[in-house]
């Protein structure tokens, strides 16, 4: 199977190279009108078919690696290092992306899959799709070159194969790790598609904004995958690493967050280009930057430049990625300089108090956040190069800068929908902002009444202050977004006789992109509320003898036993803890510590009891070697479940935004009334 997989990768490289060369020649012939023995259209079609065949070849290689894992072929170095016989089936499948070579193969396969779908839809705009397909082929050539010559996944061991392998990294033996890496890669790789369309449209001086409309769904789906991947990673860190948190500003966490920030900025600013013909150069560079940041994340993970629980060991393929990024940036700059006159804006900003300005400020703040995170992530590398020592930037730096930026972004999330296009009158400001501002101040008073104080014993408490601000702004933004739904639904209700719930549904279906975006913003508000709860985390740690007790918040934990267990994959020991509240037993928790037999590496399995108000989070830290008694650390983490609920709202909102809007005629048929229904509720002047 190793020979079959290696041959499949070589064939895939040859097909990708033909796709690139034939596609480039065909596009050149089409652009210049040069006569040729074979028609450019026919040559471009053969390039497209080579791309489709390349997908089949890479799929065969990926199948060969997975088959080798399940058949325990330990003669292959990769299988020996990342699997073993006792590994459960789902984790054998996860071995595909658990190591460097396998994860690169997954990347190439996902890129081929995206390219396969793109090439099947080529008839919507043949030339633009041909440019995009050729650019994707160039990216594919790079990855397949690395897989064939720098990091081959099918390399064989020197000498006889061992009876068993080293096993999967214990950190990856958790259900979410079967989903989190592929979803993150779907986001990373997916941004290559809008990048290819943007670069292709610029190369061919594509007229208008049609390329944005073609790639809108591609970008939104990719953004959704990246969002889901990031938050699945947060939940994995929360449930597995046992430190009581979910985001530690780890360099590889940052590497996934940076393209999310620029991708989010792109999704907002393309609306300006579609509606007003503005920010054309801005949008091109946003998507260029997003793609380059996905490459930077891969470089950081694989080059050993940063220390991270997520990173692979130091590898020479980091040089390959650095060269590829340099070439990509050079192509982007050259194309932009050559075609920049094609990107002149049709309109200019007329007022600082308008929806256009809110989009602009939103973009600027997102980019400032991205730059701060990029600087903090690369600072250890820069400091080592300049002074010879790695100076690590920790979470306090990011929190000092990122928290205020995040709160300002939250504020803009509420302000933007309330501002009309072009300019805002004083009357409009009073009408739209009075209620959200009033609710904001009510929230401030409610927080103060609940005991949230920025000053404690004469000392400023930054965590409580930011939590107070976050709760207050969240209340105002929530009111602003809901008022948008209420205004529109009330108009439709008066016109149709429907109740407000039915009118809200019809309102959303009439403009799914707009109101799906509002639902996404609601999800962001819910997440911010959950994040703000971290300011009030509490923890206790104790060694517990049998029947000993410890308290954290309203809970009392009593040790009723500690025992050991074993299976073919790992040995474990865990504590049995009865949990009491108000003197009554509520439930039992069993935090666990495992030692995996193949690798002899330990792993923490956290016990979590989650309710809307807080999480009771219990870690078994091992036993005291002198007494044999378990050491238990318990956290009370407020509002963590709100984070995961907010992610669900974002997913729902994105699906709504992806759903096609009803046409005015179709919408009218759904309303049992003779009165006319406008295509869009008139909410305010200039909206």
Task: Find the DSSP H helices in 241-316.
Answer: 251-276, 280-303
Buried b (16+ CB within 10 A) or exposed e, 180-191: bbbbbbbbbbbb
Residue 11's φ and ψ, nearest 5 degrees, are -65, -40
Residue spans of alpha helices (H) in 146-208: 180-190, 192-203
Q: Are residues 208 and 121 in the same domain?
A: no
Looking at the structure, tell me whether residues 302 and 448 fall in a common domain. Answer: no
Rounded to two decimals, the pTM is 0.91
Per-residue pLDDT tens for 547-598? 999 999 999 999 998 888 888 888 998 889 999 999 899 999 999 999 998 8
Helix axes 100-120, 180-190, angle to 10 degrees: 50
Based on the fold, state whether residues 253 and 359 are members of the same structural domain: yes
- Does residue 601 fall inside a structural domain? yes
Residue 544 contacts residue 422 (beta carbons within 8 Å): no
Spatial separation of the C-alpha atoms in residues 72 and 92, rounded to whole Å: 9
Residue 652 in any domain: the answer is no
Place of tokens 């050991």: 564
Q: Are residues 15 and 129 in the same domain?
A: yes
Residues 162 and 179 both lie in one domain: no
Among the listed residues 479, 472, 465, 407, the one whose alpha carbon sits nearest the alpha carbon of residue 443: 472
Q: Across all residues in the chain, what is the average pLDDT?
A: 87
User: Looking at the domain assignment, is residue 519 inside a domain?
Assistant: no
Which of 338, 372, 393 is the last residue before a domain boundary? 393
Does the residue 654 lie in any domain? Answer: no
Whether 87 and 68 share a structural domain = yes
- Per residue in 138-173, pLDDT tens? 999 999 999 999 999 999 998 888 988 898 888 888
Give me the helix-helix angle, 640-658 and 512-532, nearest 10°: 170
156 shares its domain with 208 = no
Distance, CA of 649 to CA of 638 (rounded, Å):
20
Per run of 10 residues, the mean pLDDT along the chain (length 687 residues) is: 94 97 92 76 92 96 95 93 90 88 94 93 82 96 95 91 88 86 92 94 83 87 95 92 89 90 92 78 92 88 62 70 94 93 73 72 90 88 78 84 91 78 65 87 93 81 90 94 90 87 91 92 95 92 91 93 87 91 92 88 90 94 84 94 96 94 59 43 38
Residue 348 and residue 409 in one domain: no
For residue 527, is it within any domain? Answer: no
Total domains in the fold of the chain: 4
* Integer Cα distance of 54 and 116 in angstroms: 9
Among candidate residues 193, 176, 175, the one with its CA nearest the CA of residue 184: 176
Distance CA 43, CA 386 (A): 51
Burial pattern 352-362, b for ≥16 Cβ within 10 A else e, equals ebbbbbbbbbb
Q: Residue 562's domain spans which residues?
A: 537-641
Say if residue 545 is in the same domain as residue 459.
no
**Residue ending a domain, choose from 166, 188, 221:** 166
Answer yes or no: is 685 within a domain: no
Cβ neighbors of 381 (< 8 A, separation 6 or more) are 305, 306, 390
Does 610 lie in the same domain as 578?
yes
Residues 437 and 493 in one domain: yes
Co-location of 463 and 332 in the same domain:
no
Q: How far apart are CA 202 and CA 228, in angstroms?
A: 31
Q: Which residues pair with 562 in a beta bridge?
A: 575
């Amino acid at each position: 199977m190793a020979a079959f997989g290696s041959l499949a990768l070589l064939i895939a490289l040859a097909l990708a190279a033909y796709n690139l060369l034939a596609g480039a020649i065909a596009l050149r012939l089409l652009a210049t009108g040069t006569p040729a023995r074979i028609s450019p259209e026919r040559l471009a079609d053969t390039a497209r078919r080579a791309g489709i065949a390349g997908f089949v070849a890479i799929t065969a290689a990926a199948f060969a690696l997975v088959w080798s894992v399940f058949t325990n072929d330990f003669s292959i170095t990769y299988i020996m290092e990342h699997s073993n016989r006792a590994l459960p089936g789902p984790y054998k499948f996860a071995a595909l992306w658990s190591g460097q070579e396998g994860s690169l193969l997954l990347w190439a396969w996902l890129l081929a899959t995206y390219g396969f779908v793109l090439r099947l839809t080529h008839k919507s705009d043949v030339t633009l799709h041909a440019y995009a397909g050729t650019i994707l082929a160039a990216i594919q050539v790079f990855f397949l070159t690395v897989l064939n010559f720098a990091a081959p996944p099918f390399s064989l061991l020197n000498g006889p194969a061992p009876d068993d392998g080293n096993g999967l990294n214990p950190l990856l033996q958790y259900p979410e790790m079967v989903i989190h890496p592929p979803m993150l890669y779907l986001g990373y790789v997916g941004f290559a598609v809008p990048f290819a369309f943007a670069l292709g449209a610029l190369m061919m001086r594509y007229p208008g904004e049609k390329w944005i409309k073609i790639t809108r769904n591609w970008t939104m789906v990719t953004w959704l995958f990246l969002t889901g991947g990031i938050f699945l990673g947060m939940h994995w860190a929360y449930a597995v690493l046992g430190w009581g948190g979910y985001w530690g500003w780890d360099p590889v966490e940052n590497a996934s967050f940076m393209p999310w920030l620029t991708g989010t900025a792109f999704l907002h600013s393309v609306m300006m280009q579609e509606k007003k013909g503005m920010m054309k150069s801005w949008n091109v560079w946003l998507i260029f930057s997003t793609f380059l940041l996905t490459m930077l994340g891969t470089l950081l993970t694989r080059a050993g430049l940063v220390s991270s629980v997520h990173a692979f060991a130091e590898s020479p393929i980091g040089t390959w990625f650095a060269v590829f990024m340099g070439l990509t940036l050079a192509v982007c700059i050259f194309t932009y300089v050559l075609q920049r006159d094609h990107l002149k804006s049709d309109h200019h900003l007329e007022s600082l108090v308008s929806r256009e300005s809110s989009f602009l400020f939103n973009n600027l703040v997102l980019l400032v956040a991205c730059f701060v995170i990029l600087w903090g992530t690369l600072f250890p590398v820069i400091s080592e190069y300049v002074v010879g020592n790695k100076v690590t930037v920790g979470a306090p730096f990011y929190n000092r800068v990122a928290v205020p930026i995040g709160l300002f972004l939250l504020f803009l999330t509420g302000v933007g929908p309330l501002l009309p296009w072009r300019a805002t009158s004083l009357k409009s400001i009073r009408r739209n902002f009075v209620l959200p501002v009033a609710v904001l101040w009510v929230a401030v008073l409610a927080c103060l009444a609940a005991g949230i104080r920025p000053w404690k014993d004469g000392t400023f408490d930054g965590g409580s202050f930011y939590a107070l601000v976050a709760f207050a702004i969240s209340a105002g933004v929530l009111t602003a977004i809901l008022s948008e739904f209420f205004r529109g639904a009330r108009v439709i209700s008066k016109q149709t006789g429907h109740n407000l719930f039915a009118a809200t549904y019809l309102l959303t279906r009439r403009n799914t992109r707009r109101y799906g975006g509002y639902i996404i913003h609601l999800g962001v508000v819910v997440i911010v509320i959950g994040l703000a709860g971290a300011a009030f985390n509490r923890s206790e740690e104790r060694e517990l003898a049998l029947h000993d007790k410890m308290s954290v918040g309203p809970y009392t934990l009593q040790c009723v036993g500690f025992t050991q267990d074993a299976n073919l994959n790992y040995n474990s020991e865990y504590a049995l803890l009865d949990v009491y509240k108000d003197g009554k037993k509520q439930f039992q928790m069993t935090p666990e510590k495992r030692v995996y037999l193949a690798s002899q590496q330990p792993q923490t399995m956290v016990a979590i009891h989650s309710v809307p108000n807080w999480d009771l989070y219990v870690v078994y830290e091992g036993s005291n070697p002198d007494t044999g008694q378990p050491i238990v650390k318990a956290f009370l983490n407020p509002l963590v479940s709100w984070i995961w609920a907010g992610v669900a709202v974002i997913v729902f909102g994105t699906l709504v935004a992806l759903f096609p809007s009803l046409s005015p005629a179709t919408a009218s048929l759904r309303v049992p009334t003779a009165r006319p229904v406008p295509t869009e509720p008139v909410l305010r002047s200039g909206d």
